[in-house]
Amino acid sequence: MSKPVENNRVTLQALSDYSPKKTLTAIVQLLEPLGGIENFVKPGQKVLLKPNLLAGKPPEKAVTTHPEIIRAVAQLVQAAGGIVYLGDSPGIGSAENVARKCGIMDVVEELGIVFTPFVESVTIHPRGRTFQELEVARELLEAEVVINLPKLKTHQMMGLTCAVKNMFGAIVGLRKPQLHLQAGSDKALFALMLLELCEQLKPSLSIVDAVVGMEGDGPGSGDPRQIGTLIAGTNPVAVDAVATEVVGMKPDQSWTQKMAIDTKRSGALLSEVELLGDDLEELRIVDFKAAKNTDINGRIPDFIQRMLKQALTAQPSPDHSLCNRCEICVKHCPPEAMSIAKRRLQIDYKKCIRCFCCQELCPQGALVTRQGSLLRLTQYYKR
Ligand code: SF4
Ligand code: SF4
């Protein structure tokens, strides 16, 4: 068994609901084993909070990081003398609108946080195997301390979105679908890019909002799920290793976790993590509904997969009774596989790269995941 390293310390804290006092106390207790917030924030430092601001939904939908988590962390940073900034680049709409609809803007205004939506990009050169260049938010690079505040949710393409995936918000606006297009349907490549991006951006601390997470068709249209836990650490890979355990997912159900293990990244295995705080066994939940499998994870040669793409993968399918033809999905589909014709949403499945951006962004929850016949069969025999 590998020996845990200091960077792989991950702390857990039970929290049953978001009442402000309980949340603040729980975050203080959560950070205690890591040396408290003072270990990360020095007086006068510019501290950027990076929540999940995917879409403008109310907090009870569990699409975005809960405003009370933001309030508690911001209060602690301010008490330590830090100057709090908050920013992200949502999937759709302006960051300000999203922050207002999900309740975060109220906290921003009450606490005098500097709201800094990600709009300007700077080119960076990750030292990795995927993309030679990535364009990331200037606002994030200019912060002295970045605190990553993900929401634990299922993710139709990646399996799970948590500490590593949350840093994808550093890619500004429409550059996100461009990266999806460049990666195509190669999930391993996309997951590796997410790991390399997160490593390059190096958030000082990640605090996961897993009090109420999301299961099923995440990250935009799944069901809120009571998990009752906060998770924190300095290594996002180690934090995610613990998060998958808390919800009882296997590491290979999360593509970023699977790729972190395959590429032997430190903290990817639970055996490399030093667990602190509350007992993981007591916080673990059962029957968490994972996202539906959308392919058979590369166990069949590529040329056969290409021939049987429809049958071997899952695809988004419109529920026409819910679709109001707003065209948000049409405008954001990376390979332009979607259109409105004869007053109905149409998808060209030959072009579709199965990125599920459309499902992630649809405000009506009108795109369901349909598994192909052979994929369903493989699931059946795996039981
Ligand atoms: S599927 Fe959703 S995003 Fe796409 S047009 Fe219909 S309502 Fe709009
Ligand atoms: S139809 Fe949806 S899943 Fe397919 S490429 Fe477009 S956005 Fe991605």
SS3 labels along the chain: CCCCCHHHEEEEEECCCCCHHHHHHHHHHHHHHHCCHHHCCCCCCEEEEEECCCCCCCHHHCCCCCHHHHHHHHHHHHHCCCEEEECCCCCCCCHHHHHHHCCHHHHHHHHCCEECCCCCEEEECCCCCCCCCEEEEHHHHCCCEEEEECEEEEECCCEEECHHHHHHHHCCCCHHHHHHHHHCCCHHHHHHHHHHHHHHHCCCEEEEEEEEEEECCCCCCCEEEEEEEEEEECCHHHHHHHHHHHCCCCHHHCHHHHHHHHCCCCCCCHHHCEEEECCHHHHCCCCCCCCCCCCCCCCCCHHHHHHCHHHHCEEEEECCCCCCCCCHHHHHCCCCCEEEECCEEEECCCCCCCCCHHHHHCCCCCEEEEECHHHHHHHHHHC
296 inside domain: no
Arithmetic mean of pLDDT, 55-79: 97
The residue among 255, 283, 311 that closes a domain is: 283
* Other Cβ atoms closer than 10 A to 337: 20
Nearest CA to ligand 1 atom 2: 362
Nearest CA to ligand 2 atom 6: 333
- Residues 93 and 199 grouped into a single domain: yes
- Residues 338 and 230 grouped into a single domain: no
At 303, is the pLDDT very low, low, confident or very high (cuts 50, 70, 90)? Answer: low
- Residues 17 and 137 grouped into a single domain: yes
* Segment 78-128, tens digit of pLDDT: 999 999 999 999 988 899 999 999 999 999 999 999 999 999 999 999 888
- Residues 215 and 128 grouped into a single domain: yes
Distance 147 CA to ligand 1 centre (A): 33
Distance, in Å, from the CA atom of 202 to the CA atom of 199, rounded to the nearest integer, reads 5
> Which ligand is closest in space to the CA of residue 336?
2
Arithmetic mean of pLDDT, 276-293: 94
> Which ligand is closest in space to the CA of residue 92?
1
265 inside domain: yes
- Number of domains present in the structure of the chain: 2
- Residues 316 and 268 grouped into a single domain: no
> Which ligand is closest in space to the CA of residue 177?
2
In ligand 1, the atom with minimum distance to the C-alpha of 365 is 2
- Residues 59 and 118 grouped into a single domain: yes
At 381, is the pLDDT very low, low, confident or very high (cuts 50, 70, 90)? Answer: low
Does a cis peptide bond (omega within 30 degrees of 0) precede residue 59? no
Distance 158 CA to ligand 2 centre (A): 14
More confident residue, 130 or 168: 168
Distance, in Å, from the CA atom of 351 to the CA atom of 337, rounded to the nearest integer, reads 5
Distance, in Å, from the CA atom of 5 to the CA atom of 7, rounded to the nearest integer, reads 5
Q: Is the CB of 284 under 6 A from ligand 1?
A: no
Instruction: For residue 68, give the CATH number of its domain.
Output: 3.40.50
297 inside domain: no
At 258, is the pLDDT very low, low, confident or very high (cuts 50, 70, 90)? Answer: very high
Instruction: For residue 334, give the CATH number of its domain.
Output: 3.30.70.20
In ligand 2, the atom with minimum distance to the C-alpha of 315 is 3
- Residues 96 and 226 grouped into a single domain: yes
Nearest CA to ligand 2 atom 8: 355
Q: Tell me what pLDDT residue 177 has.
A: 87
Burial of 133 (0-12, 13-18, 19+ CB in 10 A): exposed
CB 266 within 8 A of CB 7: yes
At 370, is the pLDDT very low, low, confident or very high (cuts 50, 70, 90)? Answer: confident
- Residues 24 and 162 grouped into a single domain: yes
* Segment 163-192, tens digit of pLDDT: 999 999 999 988 898 898 888 888 999 999
Q: Tell me what pLDDT residue 173 has.
A: 84
Arithmetic mean of pLDDT, 355-361: 91
At 380, is the pLDDT very low, low, confident or very high (cuts 50, 70, 90)? Answer: low
Burial of 138 (0-12, 13-18, 19+ CB in 10 A): middle
Residue 383, pLDDT above cutoff 60 = no
Residue 369, pLDDT above cutoff 80 = yes
Q: Which of 190, 218, 121 is nearest to 353 (CA)?
A: 190
Domain that holds residue 313: 302-382
Q: Which of 85, 102, 186, 207 is nearest to 143 (CA)?
A: 85
Q: Tell me what pLDDT residue 340 has.
A: 97
Q: Tell me what pLDDT residue 154 has.
A: 97
Q: Tell me what pLDDT residue 285 has.
A: 98
> Which ligand is closest in space to the CA of residue 349?
2
Q: Tell me what pLDDT residue 75 has.
A: 98
Q: Is the CB of 345 under 6 A from ligand 1?
A: yes
Q: Tell me what pLDDT residue 105 has.
A: 98
Nearest CA to ligand 1 atom 4: 329
- Residues 93 and 154 grouped into a single domain: yes
CB 227 within 8 A of CB 153: no
Q: How many CA atoms lie within 13 A of 363 on its CB side?
A: 14
CB 337 within 8 A of CB 352: yes
Q: Is the CB of 346 under 6 A from ligand 1?
A: no
Q: Which of 209, 221, 187 is nearest to 296 (CA)?
A: 187
At 299, is the pLDDT very low, low, confident or very high (cuts 50, 70, 90)? Answer: low
339 inside domain: yes
* Other Cβ atoms closer than 10 A to 349: 14
Q: Is the CB of 239 under 6 A from ligand 1?
A: no
* Segment 4-14, tens digit of pLDDT: 566 999 999 99
Residue 297, pLDDT above cutoff 60 = no
268 inside domain: yes
Average confidence score pLDDT of the chain: 92
In ligand 2, the atom with minimum distance to the C-alpha of 177 is 7
Phi, psi (degrees; rounded to nearest 5) at 83:
-100, 120
Q: Tell me what pLDDT residue 1 has.
A: 46
- Residues 363 and 329 grouped into a single domain: yes
The residue among 227, 253, 283 that closes a domain is: 283
27 inside domain: yes
Q: Is the CB of 163 under 6 A from ligand 1?
A: no
- Residues 275 and 314 grouped into a single domain: no
Q: Tell me what pLDDT residue 373 has.
A: 74
79 inside domain: yes
- Residues 179 and 33 grouped into a single domain: yes
Q: Tell me what pLDDT residue 294 has.
A: 64
1 inside domain: no
Tracing tokens 């302006």 back to the chain, one arrives at 94
Q: Which amino acid is at 253?
A: Q
Angle at 332 between CA 256 and CA 102, to 5 degrees: 75
Arithmetic mean of pLDDT, 202-217: 97
Residue 152, pLDDT above cutoff 80 = yes
